[in-house]
Amino acid sequence: MTRPDSAFWRGKKVLLTGHTGFKGSWAAIWLTRMGAEVTGLALAPDQNPSLFELAGVEGLVRSHILDLREAAAVEAAVAGEAFDVVLHMAAQPIVRASVEDPVGTFAANVMGTAHLLQALRGQRALKAALVVTSDKVYANNDSGRAFAEADCLGGKDPYSASKAAAEIVTASFARSYFERAGVAVGTARGGNVIGGGDFSRDRLVADIVRAARAGEAVVLRHPEATRPWQHVLDCLAGYLVLLERLAGDPATPRAVNFGPRPDGPQVTVGELASLAVEALGAKQWIHEPDPASLEAKALAVDTSLAGRALGFESRLEGPAAVRLTMDWYRRQGAGEDARALCEEQIALYEGGR
């Protein structure tokens, strides 16, 4: 299967938004490992602890701490720079937080994307840009059917709707400005990502790790729900491969799902939690239903286009992804260096192990 090509990234000037977050920190470590020159735009980390700080990511990149909702700040950070490719991951990523603050979520995920794309219109060296949205962009009726890229967009909650709107904003900028300038702009619809270093609130693995370290049992709202779980390295590998193709092949699809292999097993929230607490030697989870929750009970994405068009598929299935994730947390909790653990797991992934 296709994996990121270090020869492509060596010396590339990359603009990475969201570099202070969980996925963004992993992306910054991997890109700089391959020789890219990375500039980051993001808010200050909102996790404590944060992978950004634990792994010393600020020392790897040219870091701009700013709010993408402020158009002038984005314009100022991009002005005078010459980027080859852009990976836009900055977002308000939590469903429950979007219910608490819908306007702020739409401002970050929709207008933040619009502000970035507007600022990028002046980039003359730019070859490709990828906007990361979500597997939740589809109009979901809880049928359990895997959604394909041509399915209707929608969103029952503000987070999902904001990401669907970001898809529309991105497509409109691409058609109105970037395609005619020879710049390929696409979107990546990623599944639910797990991996070491995620300390967000209201995220399953992070909640399990916090509970385990406190000697408590994690509380699950919907243990029967299914999600397209994928390890952060599979997720990022897909994004990077898609960016490589966008930069060089005009026939590359402009929207691609990333998640588990189509023939892989579906893993429920409860099953993933059981694997995680077993790996950590933690207390078994408990179930406390949340009848007011707007989260979909079933969610799956059809990732066959990534296989056909990019030659890419995820390598780490549910149990393997959980084992790798929990190994990171266990060793980091025992005092090992966070960046060294990331580098080690990236090297293992690159080597096909």
Look at residue 1 and tell me if it is in a domain: no
Alpha carbons 91 and 51: distance in angstroms, whole number = 17
Q: Can you point out the beta strands (E) in 196-299?
A: 219-220, 226-227, 229-231, 255-258, 267-268, 286-287
Indicate if the pLDDT at residue 280 is higher than 90.
Answer: no
Measured distance CA(327)–CA(348) in Å, rounded: 13
Strands 267-268, 255-258: pairing kind: unpaired
* 160, 196 Cβ separation under 8 angstroms: no
pLDDT at 48: 87
* Structure confidence at residue 124 (pLDDT): 93
Give 203-227 pLDDT, tens digit per residue. Answer: 888 999 999 898 998 889 889 887 7
User: Is the separation of the CB atoms in 132 and 73 below 8 Å?
Assistant: no
The boundaries of the domain holding residue 237 are: 6-350
pLDDT in tens, 17-42: 999 999 999 999 999 999 999 999 99
pLDDT tens digits, residue range 320-350?
A: 888 899 999 999 999 999 999 999 999 999 9
Can you give the CATH number for the domain in which 81 is found?
A: 3.40.50.720
Tell me the pLDDT band of 3, cut-offs 50, 70 and 90. Answer: very high
Radius of gyration of the chain (CA): 19
Q: Is the pLDDT of residue 60 over 60?
A: yes
CA distances from 97 to 93, 122, 151, 197 (A): 8, 34, 26, 20
Q: Is residue 126 part of a domain?
A: yes
pLDDT in tens, 282-327: 888 999 877 666 565 667 889 999 999 999 999 998 888 888 999 9
Residue 261: per-residue pLDDT: 82
Structural domains of the chain, count: 1
Residue 247 in domain: yes
From residue 313, alpha-carbon distances to 191, 231, 317, 343, 349 in Å are 13, 12, 11, 22, 13
Q: How many CA atoms lie within 13 A of 314 on its CB side?
A: 31
Is 269 within a domain?
yes
